[in-house]
């Protein structure tokens, strides 16, 4: 047991004081010390002993007594001990000041400490320990440079002064000069190998700062060996453990942290780390407690920043963004240089993003990025912000960078893909595919949405097999699979029931009854719908219809499925069923503009004009007139009406045309890139005879449409051909018609063949004309108009042959045979007419007359033949032929005059028969087509239009009859058109034209095309829905589904047009 | 089952080839392929090499349909001018010329016994039956008019009869119309039985299964092929896959496969058990107007043959196995 002996004054005796049994009252011992005038070093020893025992009050009492003026008097010659006592007090107050958190008390402590040191210096200003003390004090006050000077004084005198070495090491450490600091610590250790463990702590910290983690660990471990209770070493070691980033390391680290906490509960660092740990374990209550303590015990900025950060994170994860934001702010405020501690900026950015403060969030993320320019998360966050700010290109740039930096970040690729959908589907697809393969590689489940989007993109690019694979992958196994794969057999139904087959959902009831599980999870509805769309595309309408019905069986409110079924029915000409299905859709939503538009088309197809117009109006109203499709439909309606009434009421025609133009123009104003509206406008212009302008428009529309594989606009080809025809450019017209037939109709459209024949006729290519008409008849044998036209052609051909000055007997013979055929052909309409009702009597009479004339002609021809055979004079023949022609002309004349008078109904029938020949009709027909197409952009409704057109064409045909217009008159018209040019441009079309014109010639098309493809809602290809869908946040499933639905529909639309 | 291309003849005719049928083998020669074209000729082709045996002229306005008597001795061809020419296959001697009013002739088919020639009556909305011994008109089977509230004035053209088919037992006749309806007749009683509904677009080709007498296949412009039980009036199956009109179809002699020709320029082979397309031939460059399986029989020719003809003026021959 350690004890000290206080010599008794004036004797040899000593008072023995056991150091572990110091009296509680320091006054007792003070009395002895004073009474015996004990040496001052004893005072110090005893005071120190009190201090060690934690009896700070007694310690202070003794030292204060031992440094009082009395002592100075008494022990004036004992300089060292007096200094030692003063220095001890100075060190004590320095310490108090250092740990004191309240500013005022802190100051007071430091003042006291300074006073003691100054007093010591007055005794001996060269005493090194005083300088060391002063240095420590300055360090504690944060006055690093002065501290440096103080220690330097000592070290200059004695370069091995351990305390000074340590002090200086500390100074260097604080100045960030870790290697110098390390040298000093090392020297101290060499000089004084048994120095306290804390010295090694310094070494460890220096090493740590220098990045020598292993050596740092060794140093910390050594500290703990020497002093197992050293909390700082424990914390340091724990931190290095934590930084190993391995589960065991982290666990060990946390154990050490905990022990440090148990040893010394007020170490802010340990508290922060513990809080951090509990944050990750989700014990937010502990996080808050620990952090609050940490905040209370430290003034150290970075540590506080860390604490605030912990708190903020805790609130952040609990979803309390307001509070989290405040604490992140507090944390950020504690940070002088962002590079020291960047996390709170990131957190703040996140919270601001969440709270919608995009600009602030952006600036915070920018700060993070300055320090970590390659941080993927930050890049992604910024990309996301730019998307929301509408700066797509910047967003893409960031996303691309993120994917480049971390080519294994599936999320980044996913987001990049979403960004690219609107601009570059190919790149978007690549990004999605990369995301998919990354997810697969990582063993993660690939989200259905992703697979769906990949499928849609493939679909849009025409890669149907890949699309199918992707949709199937998205769907997985289910009741749909046997239907798609065709293993589920078609169920026999009554033939009369087959008429409404697409409404039948009994199939699934039966399946359920037979124990099959008919399930369709909500998140698979969209891919299933798309798969069905794909099946339609692949011409598997039957499979598609079953899938749509499955959707409706489970989700009877899915409007798009009704509409698709209606479209399939319509494509098969089952108009009644189609209408019923549309009505089903309207039962779900009677304001659905798509359903209304489609209904309108169907009503037009049924020749229900008034109803159709009302329906289109309703569709337009349902979208506040913003639905281009409805507007276009109304425009078409007016156009058709104008054409229909053409001959009967010029005023009405003009009104309708004007109205149509106005409607097309309105759409163009809203969507300058709407192909269909432009086409419609072109048609109206052509109708007014402005062929050059309309040709320009059609050419541009054609170019734009051909730049996009999803938009198919055969109408514009036909319109162009009509214009060429009208301008007398027959060879170009022929080419255009032929290409259109082949490209869009598989050569099955007899109407276009009729246009083609008409062109040949005008070009006097009789054989081509005949063959073309025969082909048309072969395709549409019940269209007697075609037969009549063929007859006319044959006759005309005969006439022209017979008119030739030189001809062979063979020629004449074959000509006569042709005339016979002509007669037979003419007979047909006659018989046909007879079969018809009385209303057609008039018509029939005309036909009969014609037939009679034709027969007469043929009789004459026969006579001619005789003449020929007898080698009679040719002049006679010629005369007769001419007569024939005149007759025929007369017939035509008569026909013309008679038709207009007849009633509309009649006319339409008549037209059917006669239609082919009139140019006017044809042209109009074409135009109509144009219009029709314009409206098609949306659903299949478009198809409806096409059909409509056909009907209308028929109507037109009625009027057209046999009026062959003279080429000359056409030319005149053309001239007139040219004159009209400018006013025209000024009138309606400026938008589109102007745009195009101003563009540099070379870039025009490109630009335009882009413009088209970007164009809004009307375009079938809209991507917006897609991107919406893709967005990572879960949207309402319904919405999603619909969007997707639209897209494919859009696609269809394009196709359906043909 | 599969098809393998054997031979293609480009420009077999000067114009679109619109019709094709096989003339069964006789004791003296193997089966011949008979084709009809817009160029107003009928041609006969022999052997797997498709050697041109004869070119028959005499039609005007394009040959729309050809038919061969089951004996293989007699052929018939019909053109757009409504004449049916009946001729001796081996000599091209005209046996008869059947004249009908304009546009009242379309497809032709001999009945399995060879006693009757059925002619789709086009605009007459009926089938006409001709006795093959006397070449006189035996009967006219009219399609009943729909008893709708207002008989549409267009119904005449809508009921235009395009196609005709005999059941393998010869007791039933089916015909397809422009409006998509199929009508079934009892031949013996010359009586209309019922309609088969489901199509709403022209039915250009009909054929009965050779092994199931009730099973009728129809090809329509709606791009679908329907399978009906023609007695039960039920739709047994619907097959989609063509991208455009289905213009013609034929069932293989074994009754296992169906071939279709379409405006989409393809010939498809369908497995009737799976009811799925098993093969698509895309060698034609324009509409395929006719497909025909060669009937079995003849000297030593076992292997199946399918011929297709197209608007592209070509004929293709395939091995079917």
Query: Which H or E element spans position A380?
Result: helix A376-388
User: What is the predicted pLDDT for the residue at A937?
Assistant: 36
Whether B206 contacts B191, CB under 8 Å: no
Highest mean pLDDT among A239-248, A549-558, A870-879, A947-956: A549-558
- The C-alpha atoms of residue A120 and residue B243 are separated, in whole angstroms, by 107
> For B235, which of A493, A787, A831 is closest by C-beta distance?
A493
Cβ within 8 Å, pair A774-B80: yes
Question: Cα A186 to chain center, whole Å?
Answer: 61
B94-121 mean pLDDT:
90
| pLDDT of A727 above 60 | yes
More confident residue, A330 or B290: B290
Min distance B153 CA to chain A CA atoms (Å):
6
Q: How many CB atoms lie within 10 A of CB A354?
A: 14
| A533-555 pLDDT, tens digit each | 998 888 888 888 889 999 998 89
**From A819, which residue of chain B is nearest by alpha-carbon distance?**
B60
> For B234, which of A495, A747, A832 is closest by C-beta distance?
A495
> For B60, which of A490, A821, A839 is closest by C-beta distance?
A821
Cβ within 8 Å, pair B199-A572: yes
pLDDT band of residue B307 (cuts 50, 70, 90) is very high
| pLDDT of A965 above 50 | no
Min distance A638 CA to chain B CA atoms (Å):
26
Angle CA(A615)–CA(A621)–CA(A627) in degrees, nearest 5?
95
- The C-alpha atoms of residue A307 and residue A294 are separated, in whole angstroms, by 7
Nearest to A776 by CA among A752, A742, A746, A759: A752
Highest mean pLDDT among A175-189, A856-870, A891-905, A1010-1024: A175-189
| A135-152 pLDDT, tens digit each | 888 877 778 788 888 888
Nearest to B225 by CA among B213, B241, B243, B209: B241
- The C-alpha atoms of residue A121 and residue A150 are separated, in whole angstroms, by 12
| pLDDT of A923 above 90 | no
* Average model confidence (pLDDT) across chain A: 72
Cβ within 8 Å, pair A825-B101: no
Q: Any idea how long chain A is?
A: 1058
Cβ within 8 Å, pair B158-A575: no
More confident residue, A903 or A221: A221
A627-781+918-1014: CATH number: 1.25.40.10
- The C-alpha atoms of residue A780 and residue A766 are separated, in whole angstroms, by 21
Which residues of chain B are within 8 Å of residue A777 when distances are taken between CB atoms?
80
- B130, β-bridge pairs: B117, B137
| pLDDT of A361 above 90 | no
Residues of chain A numbered 435-494 and touching chain B (CB < 8 Å): 486, 489-490, 492-494
**From B202, which residue of chain A is nearest by alpha-carbon distance?**
A780
pLDDT band of residue A707 (cuts 50, 70, 90) is low
pTM assigned to the model? 0.65
| B163-188 pLDDT, tens digit each | 999 999 999 999 999 989 999 999 99
A303 touches chain B (CB under 8 A): no
- The C-alpha atoms of residue B278 and residue B259 are separated, in whole angstroms, by 10
With both helix axes pointing from N to C terminus, report the angle between A990-998 and A691-706 in degrees, rounded to the nearest 10: 70
Sheet with B234-240, strands from edge to edge, namely A493-494, B234-240, B224-229, B215-220, B203-208
More confident residue, A434 or A921: A434
- What Rg do the C-alpha atoms of chain B give, in angstroms? 18
Min distance A788 CA to chain B CA atoms (Å):
11
pLDDT band of residue A846 (cuts 50, 70, 90) is low
Question: Cα B214 to chain center, whole Å?
Answer: 18
User: What is the predicted pLDDT for the residue at B286?
Assistant: 92
Which residues of chain B are within 8 Å of residue A909 when distances are taken between CB atoms?
153-154
**Mode of pairing for the β-strands spanning A3-7 and B304-310:** unpaired
Q: Kindly give, in sequence order, each residue whose CB lies less than 8 Å from that of residue B133, ignoring residues fewer than 6 positions away.
A: B115
Q: What is the 3-state secondary structure (H, E, C) of A619-659?
A: HHHHCCCCCHHHHHHHHHHHHHHHHHCCCCCHHHHHHHHHH
| pLDDT of B161 above 80 | yes
- The C-alpha atoms of residue B193 and residue B212 are separated, in whole angstroms, by 19
Nearest to A119 by CA among A165, A164, A63, A52: A63
* Average model confidence (pLDDT) across chain B: 89
pLDDT band of residue A93 (cuts 50, 70, 90) is confident
The fourth-level CATH superfamily of domain A266-373 is: Tetratricopeptide repeat domain (1.25.40.10)
The mean-pLDDT minimum among A220-229, A912-921, B296-305 falls in A912-921
Structure tokens given for B316: 């293709």
> For B153, which of A572, A824, A909 is closest by C-beta distance?
A909
| B15-35 pLDDT, tens digit each | 999 999 999 988 888 889 999
User: What is the predicted pLDDT for the residue at A1001?
Assistant: 33
- The C-alpha atoms of residue B22 and residue B35 are separated, in whole angstroms, by 9
Which residues of chain B are within 8 Å of residue A775 when distances are taken between CB atoms?
16, 38
In chain B, % of residues over pLDDT 70: 95
Cβ within 8 Å, pair A542-B228: no
More confident residue, A109 or A924: A109
Query: Which H or E element spans position A57?
Result: helix A56-66
> For B102, which of A542, A828, A837 is closest by C-beta distance?
A828
**From B106, which residue of chain A is nearest by alpha-carbon distance?**
A781
Percent helix, percent strand, percent coil in chain B, to nearest 5 = 0, 50, 45
Reduced to 3 states, what is the DSSP secondary structure of residue A272? helix
Cβ within 8 Å, pair A495-B162: no
A60-85 mean pLDDT:
78
Report how many Cβ contacts below 8 Å link chain A to chain B: 153
| pLDDT of A943 above 60 | no
Q: What is the dihedral of CA A569, A570, A575, A578, to 10 degrees?
A: 60
Residues of chain A numbered 830-859 and touching chain B (CB < 8 Å): 831-832, 835-837, 839-840
Question: Cα A302 to chain center, whole Å?
Answer: 41
A790-801 mean pLDDT:
80
In chain A, % of residues over pLDDT 70: 75
> For A494, which of B101, B234, B265 is closest by C-beta distance?
B234
Q: Kindly give, in sequence order, each residue whose CB lies less than 8 Å from that of residue A3, ignoring residues fewer than 6 positions away.
A: A16, A17, A18, A19
User: What is the predicted pLDDT for the residue at A982?
Assistant: 36
Structure tokens given for B27: 């004791």
**From B159, which residue of chain A is nearest by alpha-carbon distance?**
A782
Q: Fold match between A266-373 and A627-781+918-1014?
A: yes
More confident residue, A491 or A119: A119
Residues of chain A numbered 904-943 and touching chain B (CB < 8 Å): 909, 912
User: What is the predicted pLDDT for the residue at A826?
Assistant: 63
More confident residue, A374 or A934: A374
| pLDDT of A154 above 60 | yes
| pLDDT of A987 above 70 | no
pLDDT band of residue A286 (cuts 50, 70, 90) is confident
**From A498, which residue of chain B is nearest by alpha-carbon distance?**
B198
Q: Phi first, then psi: give them for residue B236, nearest 5 degrees.
A: -90, -30
Structure tokens given for A466: 């890949």
Angle CA(A908)–CA(A914)–CA(A920) in degrees, nearest 5?
85
Query: Which H or E element spans position A860?
Result: helix A841-869
User: What is the predicted pLDDT for the residue at A3?
Assistant: 78
Question: Cα A737 to chain center, whole Å?
Answer: 40
In chain B, % of residues over pLDDT 90: 62
More confident residue, A219 or A742: A742
Q: Kindly give, in sequence order, each residue whose CB lies less than 8 Å from that of residue A178, ignoring residues fewer than 6 positions away.
A: A172, A206, A209, A210
User: What is the predicted pLDDT for the residue at A1046?
Assistant: 35
In chain A, % of residues over pLDDT 90: 4
Name the residue ranges covered by the structural domains of chain A: 266-373, 460-556+1023-1053, 627-781+918-1014, 796-908
More confident residue, A532 or A706: A532
pLDDT band of residue B144 (cuts 50, 70, 90) is confident
Whether B219 contacts B263, CB under 8 Å: no
Cβ within 8 Å, pair B198-A489: no
The mean-pLDDT minimum among A101-105, A729-733, A875-879 falls in A875-879
Cβ within 8 Å, pair B198-A499: yes
The mean-pLDDT minimum among A262-276, A361-375, A622-636 falls in A262-276
Which residues of chain A are within 8 Å of residue B226 when distances are taken between CB atoms?
498
Percent helix, percent strand, percent coil in chain A, to nearest 5 = 80, 0, 20
Whether A686 contacts A722, CB under 8 Å: yes
Q: Any idea how long chain B is?
A: 321
User: What is the predicted pLDDT for the residue at A838?
Assistant: 43
A743 touches chain B (CB under 8 A): no
- The C-alpha atoms of residue B293 and residue B270 are separated, in whole angstroms, by 13
Structure tokens given for A622: 């349902």
Min distance B25 CA to chain A CA atoms (Å):
30
Cβ within 8 Å, pair A494-B102: no
A710-718 mean pLDDT:
82
pLDDT band of residue A869 (cuts 50, 70, 90) is low
- The C-alpha atoms of residue A1028 and residue B215 are separated, in whole angstroms, by 50
Cβ within 8 Å, pair B235-A572: no
Whether B162 contacts B120, CB under 8 Å: yes
- The C-alpha atoms of residue A679 and residue A935 are separated, in whole angstroms, by 10
Q: Phi first, then psi: give them for residue B85, nearest 5 degrees.
A: -105, 125
A649 touches chain B (CB under 8 A): no
Cα–Cα distances (Å) from B139 to A749, B67, B116, in that order, read 35, 19, 10
Q: How many CB atoms lie within 10 A of CB A357?
A: 16
Structure tokens given for A373: 């320019």
| pLDDT of A769 above 70 | yes
Cβ within 8 Å, pair B224-A836: no
User: What is the predicted pLDDT for the residue at A876?
Assistant: 55
A160-165 mean pLDDT:
79
Q: Phi first, then psi: give them for residue A44, nearest 5 degrees.
A: -65, -45
| ipTM of model | 0.94
- The C-alpha atoms of residue B105 and residue B45 are separated, in whole angstroms, by 25
pLDDT band of residue B69 (cuts 50, 70, 90) is very high
The mean-pLDDT minimum among A165-174, A418-427, A910-919, B151-160 falls in A910-919
Min distance A736 CA to chain B CA atoms (Å):
18
B87-105 mean pLDDT:
89
The fourth-level CATH superfamily of domain B3-144+156-320 is: YVTN repeat-like/Quinoprotein amine dehydrogenase (2.130.10.10)
- B215, β-bridge pairs: B229
User: What is the predicted pLDDT for the residue at A648?
Assistant: 59
| B197-212 pLDDT, tens digit each | 889 999 999 999 999 8
pLDDT band of residue A934 (cuts 50, 70, 90) is very low
Q: What is the dihedral of CA A963, A968, A972, A973, to 10 degrees?
A: 30
Cβ within 8 Å, pair B235-A498: yes
Which residues of chain A are within 8 Å of residue B81 when distances are taken between CB atoms?
821, 824
Q: Kindly give, in sequence order, each residue whose CB lies less than 8 Å from that of residue A99, ignoring residues fewer than 6 positions away.
A: none
Query: Which H or E element spans position B196?
Result: strand B191-196
| A638-677 pLDDT, tens digit each | 888 877 654 556 777 788 888 888 888 888 888 888 888 8
Nearest to A552 by CA among A543, A565, A541: A565
Structure tokens given for A372: 């970590």
User: What is the predicted pLDDT for the residue at A997?
Assistant: 33
Nearest to A723 by CA among A704, A739, A699: A699
Whether B235 contacts A492, CB under 8 Å: yes
The alpha carbon dihedral of A85, A86, A87, A92 has a sign of positive
- The C-alpha atoms of residue A568 and residue A192 are separated, in whole angstroms, by 96
| pLDDT of B245 above 70 | yes
Q: Phi first, then psi: give them for residue B316, nearest 5 degrees.
A: -125, 145
Q: What is the 3-state secondary structure (H, E, C) of A499-565?
A: HHHHHCCHHHHHHHHCCCCCCCCHHHHHHHHHHHHHHHHCCCHHHHHHHHHHHHHHCCCCHHHHHHH
A866-893 mean pLDDT:
58
- B291, β-bridge pairs: B308
| A890-912 pLDDT, tens digit each | 555 555 544 433 333 333 333 33
A1002 touches chain B (CB under 8 A): no
User: What is the predicted pLDDT for the residue at A510?
Assistant: 83
First CA to last CA across chain B, in angstroms? Answer: 5
pLDDT band of residue B300 (cuts 50, 70, 90) is low
């Amino acid at each position: 047991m350690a004890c000290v002996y206080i010599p008794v004054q004036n004797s040899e005796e000593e008072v023995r004081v056991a150091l572990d049994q110091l009296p509680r009252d320091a006054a007792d011992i003070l009395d002895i010390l004073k009474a015996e005038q004990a040496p001052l070093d004893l005072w110090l020893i005893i005071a120190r002993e009190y201090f060690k025992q934690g009896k700070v009050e007694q310690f202070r009492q003794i030292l204060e007594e031992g440094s009082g003026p009395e002592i100075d008097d008494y022990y004036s010659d004992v300089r060292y001990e007096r200094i030692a006592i003063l220095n001890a007090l100075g060190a004590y107050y320095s310490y108090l000041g250092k740990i004191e958190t309240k500013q005022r008390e802190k100051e007071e402590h430091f003042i006291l400490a300074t006073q003691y040191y100054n007093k010591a210096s007055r005794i001996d200003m060269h005493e090194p320990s005083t300088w060391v003390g002063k240095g420590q004090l300055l360090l504690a006050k944060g006055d690093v440079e002065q501290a440096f000077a103080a220690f330097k004084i000592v070290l200059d005198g004695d370069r091995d002064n351990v305390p000074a070495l340590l002090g200086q090491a500390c100074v260097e450490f604080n100045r960030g000069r870790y290697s110098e600091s390390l040298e000093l610590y090392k020297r101290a250790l060499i000089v004084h190998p048994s120095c306290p463990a804390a010295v090694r702590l310094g070494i460890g910290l220096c090493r740590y700062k220098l990045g020598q983690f292993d050596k740092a660990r060794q140093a910390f471990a050594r500290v703990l060996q020497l002093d197992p209770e050293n909390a700082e070493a424990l914390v340091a070691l724990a931190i290095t453990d934590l930084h190993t980033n391995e589960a065991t390391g982290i666990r060990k680290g946390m154990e050490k942290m905990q022990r440090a906490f148990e040893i010394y509960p007020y170490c802010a660092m340990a508290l922060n780390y513990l809080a951090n740990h509990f944050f990750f374990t989700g014990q937010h209550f502990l996080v808050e407690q620990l952090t609050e303590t940490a905040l209370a015990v430290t003034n150290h900025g970075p540590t506080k920043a860390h604490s605030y950060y912990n708190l903020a994170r805790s609130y952040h994860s609990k979803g309390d963004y307001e509070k989290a934001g405040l604490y992140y702010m507090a944390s950020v405020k504690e940070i002088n240089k962002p590079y020291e501690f960047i996390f709170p900026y990131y957190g703040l950015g996140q919270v601001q993003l969440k709270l919608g403060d995009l600009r602030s969030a952006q600036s915070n993320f920018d700060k993070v990025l300055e320090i970590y320019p390659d941080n993927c998360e930050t890049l992604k966050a910024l990309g996301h912000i730019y998307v929301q700010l509408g700066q797509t290109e910047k967003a893409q740039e960031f996303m691309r960078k993120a994917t480049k930096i971390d080519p294994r970040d599936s999320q980044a690729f996913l987001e990049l893909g979403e960004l690219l959908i609107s601009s570059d589907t190919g790149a978007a697809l690549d990004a999605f595919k990369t995301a998919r393969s990354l997810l697969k590689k990582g063993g993660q489940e690939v989200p259905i949405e992703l697979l769906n989007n990949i499928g849609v993109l493939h679909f849009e690019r025409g890669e149907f097999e890949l699309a199918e694979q992707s949709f199937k992958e998205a769907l997985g196994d289910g009741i749909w699979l046997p239907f798609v794969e065709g293993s589920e057999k078609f169920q026999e139904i009554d033939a009369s029931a087959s008429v409404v087959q697409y409404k039948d959902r009994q199939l699934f009831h039966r399946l359920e009854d037979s124990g099959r599980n008919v399930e369709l999870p909500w998140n698979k509805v969209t891919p299933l719908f798309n798969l069905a769309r794909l099946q339609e595309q692949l011409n598997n309408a039957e499979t598609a219809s079953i899938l749509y019905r499955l959707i409706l069986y489970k989700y009877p409110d899915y409007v798009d499925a009704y509409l698709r079924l209606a479209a399939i029915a319509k494509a098969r000409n089952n108009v009644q069923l189609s209408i019923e299905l549309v009505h089903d859709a309207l039962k779900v939503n009677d304001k659905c503009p798509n359903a209304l538009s489609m209904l309108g088309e169907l009503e037009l197809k049924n020749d229900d004009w008034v109803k159709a117009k009302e329906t289109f109006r309703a569709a337009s109203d349902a979208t506040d007139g913003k639905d281009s499709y409805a507007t276009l439909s109304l425009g078409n309606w007016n156009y058709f009406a104008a054409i229909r009434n053409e001959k009967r009421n010029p005023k009405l025609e003009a009104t309708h045309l004007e109205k149509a133009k106005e409607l097309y123009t309105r759409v163009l104003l809203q969507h300058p890139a709407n192909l269909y509206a432009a086409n419609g406008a072109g048609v109206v212009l052509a109708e007014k005879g402005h062929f050059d302008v309309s040709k320009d428009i059609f050419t541009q529309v054609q170019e734009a449409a051909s730049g996009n594989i999803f938009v198919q606009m055969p109408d514009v080809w036909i319109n162009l051909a009509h214009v060429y025809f009208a301008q007398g450019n027959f060879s170009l017209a022929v080419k255009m018609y032929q290409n259109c037939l082949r490209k869009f109709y598989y050569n099955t459209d007899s109407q276009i063949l009729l246009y083609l024949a008409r062109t040949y006729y005008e070009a006097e290519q009789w054989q081509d004309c005949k063959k073309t008409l025969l082909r048309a008849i072969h395709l549409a044998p019940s269209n007697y108009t075609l037969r009549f036209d063929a007859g006319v052609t044959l006759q005309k051909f005969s006439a022209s042959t017979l008119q030739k000055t030189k001809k062979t007997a063979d020629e004449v013979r074959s000509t006569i045979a042709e005339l016979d055929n002509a007669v037979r052909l003419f007979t047909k309409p006659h018989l046909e007419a007879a079969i018809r009702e009385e209303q057609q009597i008039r018509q029939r009479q005309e036909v009969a007359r014609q037939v009679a004339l034709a027969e007469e002609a043929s009789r004459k021809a026969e006579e001619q033949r005789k003449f020929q055979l007898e080698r009679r004079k040719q002049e006679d023949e010629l005369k007769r032929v001419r007569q024939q022609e005149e007759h025929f002309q007369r017939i035509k004349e008569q026909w013309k005059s008679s038709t207009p008078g007849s009633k509309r109904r009649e006319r339409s029938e008549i037209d059917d028969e006669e239609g082919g020949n009139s140019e006017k009709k044809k042209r109009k027909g074409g135009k109509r087509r144009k219009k029709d197409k314009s409206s098609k952009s949306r659903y299949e409704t478009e198809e409806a239009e096409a059909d409509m057109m056909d009907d209308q064409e028929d109507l037109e045909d009625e009027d057209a009859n046999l009026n062959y217009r003279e080429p000359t008159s056409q030319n005149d018209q053309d001239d007139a058109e040219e004159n009209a040019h400018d006013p025209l441009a000024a009138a309606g079309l400026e938008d589109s034209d102007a745009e195009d014109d101003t563009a540099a010639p070379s870039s025009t098309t490109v630009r335009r095309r882009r413009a088209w493809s970007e164009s809004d809602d009307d375009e079938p290809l809209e991507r917006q829905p897609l991107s919406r869908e893709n967005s990572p946040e879960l949207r309402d499933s319904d919405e999603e589904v619909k969007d997707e639905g639209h897209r494919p529909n859009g696609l269809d639309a394009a196709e359906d047009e043909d | 089952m599969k098809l393998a291309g054997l031979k293609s003849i480009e420009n077999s005719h000067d114009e679109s080839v619109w019709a094709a049928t096989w003339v069964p083998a006789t004791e003296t020669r193997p089966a011949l392929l008979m084709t009809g074209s817009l160029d107003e000729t009928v041609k006969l082709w022999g052997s797997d090499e498709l050697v041109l045996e004869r070119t028959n002229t005499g039609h005007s306005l394009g040959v729309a349909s050809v038919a061969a008597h089951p004996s293989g001795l007699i052929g018939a061809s019909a053109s757009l001018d409504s004449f049916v020419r009946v001729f001796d296959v081996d000599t091209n001697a005209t046996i008869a010329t059947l004249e009908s009013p304009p546009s009242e002739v379309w497809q032709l088919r001999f009945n399995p016994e060879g006693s009757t020639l059925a002619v789709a009556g086009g605009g007459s909305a009926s089938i006409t039956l001709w006795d093959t011994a006397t070449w006189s008109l035996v009967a006219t089977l009219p399609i009943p008019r729909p008893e709708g509230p207002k008989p549409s004035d267009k119904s005449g053209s809508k009921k235009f009869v395009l196609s005709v088919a005999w059941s393998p037992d010869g007791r039933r006749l089916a015909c397809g119309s422009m409006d998509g309806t199929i009508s079934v007749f009892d031949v013996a009683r010359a009586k209309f039985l019922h309609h088969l509904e489901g199509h709403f677009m022209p039915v250009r080709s009909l054929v009965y299964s050779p092994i199931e007498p009730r099973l009728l296949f129809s090809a329509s412009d709606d791009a679908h092929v329907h399978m009906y039980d023609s007695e039960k009036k039920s739709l047994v199956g619907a097959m989609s896959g063509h991208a455009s009109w289905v213009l013609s179809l034929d069932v293989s002699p074994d009754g296992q496969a169906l071939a279709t020709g379409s405006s989409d320029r393809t010939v498809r082979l369908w497995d009737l058990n799976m009811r799925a397309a098993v093969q698509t031939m895309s060698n034609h460059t324009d509409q395929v107007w006719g497909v025909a399986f060669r009937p079995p029989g003849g000297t030593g020719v076992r292997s199946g043959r399918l011929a297709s003809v197209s608007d592209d003026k070509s004929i293709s021959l395939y091995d079917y196995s």
